[in-house]
Amino acid sequence: MHTNVVGIIYSGVDVTIDKIPEGQLCQAFDPIMIYPEKTVHIIDDHMQANTSCVAPAHIYIEGARGKRFLCDYHYGMEWCTTYDRTPHLWDDIASYVIDNREEIKNTFDFSNNTDFTLDKKCWCGAEALVLLNNKQNNNMLYYCNFHYRKTYYRYLSNGKKIENIFNIFDERKRMTESIVDEVSKIRKYFYI
């Protein structure tokens, strides 16, 4: 069962909400950040990685695992992991959901008129929509919307501004599919 109005506990008081509070951050714990390959080029000592996510919450989920605000990546990770292993549990895990992922499109740079990502692919095989060009070595990295956001917030969670390291060419205004459809299409790459 899904609804747009859910109950949430603030300081022991049950309050009904119908939207995600402005400025709400993801409440996910990201233990994968302790793996060296997940923090390469972000921080020097992978054991010092921040395992808390600082991405904006675009999802509120309530169910068998409690009440949580999640970013699009951590919601996608939970959805994919559950559906791939125990799909019969999803309705209990997500008995109430507020899903504002389409609002992510409001973060796209609509003033950028470059076309560096045309005919390029993200490492996951999806259409590239963002180019990160390393300011020191000119290395170019191409990302789909989803993997760019994941990378951007992993840097930010660890005290790094990606803008200081890379020139960013955000061409996501060309994105034609929905944010939800993008996640469904690339779900096999969540575990890499």
Higher pLDDT, 189 or 100: 100
Higher pLDDT, 191 or 140: 140
Q: Residue 184: what pLDDT? A: 82
Please give the structure tokens belonging to residue 148: 């760019």
pLDDT band at 171 (very low <50, low <70, confident <90, very high): very high
CA gap 52, 32 in Å, rounded: 11
Q: Residue 101: what pLDDT? A: 93
Q: Is residue 38 part of a domain?
A: yes
Q: Is residue 1 part of a domain?
A: no
Do the Cβ atoms of 130 and 169 come closer than 8 Å? Answer: yes
User: Average of pLDDT values for 92-97?
Assistant: 91
Higher pLDDT, 81 or 117: 117
Please give the structure tokens belonging to residue 28: 């996910």
Q: Residue 11: what pLDDT? A: 44
Q: Is residue 31 part of a domain?
A: yes
Q: Residue 71: what pLDDT? A: 92
The per-residue pLDDT for range 39-52, each reduced to its tens digit, is: 666 666 555 666 78
Return the exposure string of 85-109: e unless at least 16 CB atoms fall within 10 Å of the residue's CB, then b.
eeeeeeeebbebbbbebeebeeebe
Whether the per-residue pLDDT at 24 is higher than 90: the answer is yes
Q: Is residue 52 part of a domain?
A: yes
Average pLDDT, the chain: 83
Q: Is residue 183 part of a domain?
A: yes
Q: Residue 174: what pLDDT? A: 92
User: Average of pLDDT values for 3-8?
Assistant: 41
User: Average of pLDDT values for 174-187?
Assistant: 87
Range of the domain at 31: 6-189
Q: Is residue 175 part of a domain?
A: yes
Chain centroid offset of residue 186 CA: 13
Q: Is residue 131 part of a domain?
A: yes
User: Average of pLDDT values for 146-167?
Assistant: 90
Q: Residue 157: what pLDDT? A: 85
User: Average of pLDDT values for 118-143?
Assistant: 95
Number of domains in the chain: 1
The per-residue pLDDT for range 60-88, each reduced to its tens digit, is: 999 898 899 999 988 988 888 888 889 99
Do the Cβ atoms of 20 and 69 come closer than 8 Å? Answer: yes
Instruction: Please tell me whether the overall predicted TM-score, pTM, comes out greater than 0.85 for this model.
Output: no
Do the Cβ atoms of 186 and 129 come closer than 8 Å? Answer: no
Handedness of CA 95, 98, 104, 107 (dihedral sign): negative
Q: Is residue 80 part of a domain?
A: yes
